[in-house]
Chains A and B, each alone.
Chain A
């Protein structure tokens, strides 16, 4: 089957409430990297009380402010079972920062308040006093060097033995203690890295696209794109101070 007949539906969770740090760039990276290969995409912007589309090939969710998180909270918990099933079925998924935390079991704030998550990842997040802010470099066995920027007060810990996205070479990562960043589970990635993560780490973008195409159309190998500029931006990011 040629690419022109292939199309992917990207589910963007709460673009209005959860879009603090350039998350739009992740959607754009997925769209353009499909488009440049002749693959059609449809982005479904999910807002509270909407119905999920029938077909979902990639899931993306970003970070938000505390106020944004409280707006989506109830709606999100209702969506939980469906999202969990999709991830368990192997739908490629990327959740960043706020939604990474809420894809875990819970977020316990400094005041002791528990914000429930949807337990896609068996992780917990504890509120911290100081925000962890700055450039991050991560080394991953699957994707090589990953660059990004973090800005979070929550500290995320694995509740069972899980695979992190990678090891922190610069920055704080999940909790600033164990030098691990993010989580890898089935075809899902949870991470604190915005920046946004996909344009400057095209290997991750292509992993999500390739996995989605393979699930839908059978074994797919993506054609190569010219990523010179991506590499240069990646390089200059990794050389910047914290």
Chain B
């Protein structure tokens, strides 16, 4: 690795940040001047690289794995949420590497979206991979769900040591690899809580039963904030700060991955550390604005939205839904019609570039809504004026904008 690349990279990063630009530019420059930069930096890590991929839950799962490893005394490098592409990883390295090239970490845990993960593993072979699920998402980018599954199979192929797979995902279950494959799963009782993507609107929400491989970590049961996990046949109960049943489930994948990285770790210690993990950026994150609490719930695809509604749709909260259609959100609005909104009682504000698409969707599910306001600033103001607890279901770019608006308010 060339020291000059680090200097140039750090310089570009500073300039880019002054311009308010995120992480793309420094990565682009480094890729041009030092093609081996990424590989060289990550190769120096004694415990290697963990890649986390799949449609839903990457950010939260990555955060859990990072914090569990840290609880065991490891120095962990990770990429910030939202920069889950190769250049984003390079930018994160530049932020953390010393000018002399010292990259002082034991292990890297990287969240990568399916397409970027494939590009990444061609450059850096990960030692470990966690594959969470394949759901319909951003079909305007990937074309079909089966294409997405093929991308994840390519990641598995390149992983050298161990792969952790969600055994309840019928497409992932088929993945084979030379690396050791381990599974996490659901108890029979919870299977019906997680309808399969393809079955969402069919008459029967059934799963095709087939032989299931043994799962080393099972998400066994939950009640409110308490989750029960079965690790190697032993039951463990924990109170979670994380919100949302789908996050409880992803935690099972994270627990298994950490157990595989550190086989000598004590399950009770990991469970305790899991209880301390808080929600990730915009994923159930609670923002406190002048003593008024508002929870941000990122929704990116039908299954994610459905699970989020299942966990939060019935609460007696003032509710806003904000739908944008920028590239990062997906341009195609048809996904909203794959979500069943009938559990929602009342929506106070509908907002975002595609507010009217969302309002129309609610109309056809006969869910009441009070106001449609495309402008996110005005809509957020309206919501914040209402009394009581508040929640906002928002797409990615809407979430970023709303955070800015809310942070601006807290500075007033």
Contact = CB atoms under 8 A, between A and B. Distances in A.
Interface in B351-369: 353-357, 359-361, 363-366
A67 B356 contact: no
Contacts of A195: 332-334
Given A15-B201, A20-B139, A20-B144, A233 B359 contact: yes
Interface string B329-341: 0011111111000
Contacts of B332: 21, 149, 151, 195
B356 A240 contact: no
B146 interface: yes
B338 A22 contact: yes
Nearest to A26: B337
Contacts of B202: 15-16, 19, 45
A22 B337 contact: yes
A196 B337 contact: yes
A20 B302 CA distance: 11
A19 B200 CA distance: 10
A66 interface: yes
A15 B354 CA distance: 26
Contacts of A196: 334, 337
Nearest to B354: A236
A241 B201 CA distance: 30
Nearest to A27: B201
A133 interface: yes
Interface in A48-67: 65-67
Interface in B242-260: none
B143 interface: yes
Interface string A143-171: 00000010101000000000000000000
A237 B337 contact: no
Given A16-B202, A22-B338, A236 B357 contact: yes
A67 B333 contact: no
B140 interface: yes
A230 to B, nearest CB: 6
Contact of A240 (B139, B201, B331, B334): B331
Contacts of B372: 232
A232 B356 contact: yes
A90 interface: no
B338 A24 contact: yes
A134 B334 CA distance: 12
B411 to A, nearest CB: 32
A66 B144 contact: yes
B228 interface: no
Interface string A104-140: 0000000000000000000000000001011100000
A140 to B, nearest CB: 20
Given A66-B146, A236-B374, 7 more contacts: A19-B198, A29-B364, A65-B144, A149-B334, A151-B332, A229-B356, A240-B354
6 closest A-B pairs by CB: A22-B337, A25-B337, A22-B334, A233-B356, A21-B334, A233-B360
Interface of A: 15-16, 19-25, 28-29, 32, 45, 65-67, 131, 133-135, 149, 151, 153, 194-196, 199-200, 229-230, 232-233, 235-237, 240-241
Interface of B: 136, 139-140, 143-146, 198-199, 201-203, 325, 331-338, 353-357, 359-361, 363-366, 372, 374
7 contacts: A16-B199, A25-B337, A149-B331, A149-B334, A195-B334, A196-B334, A233-B357
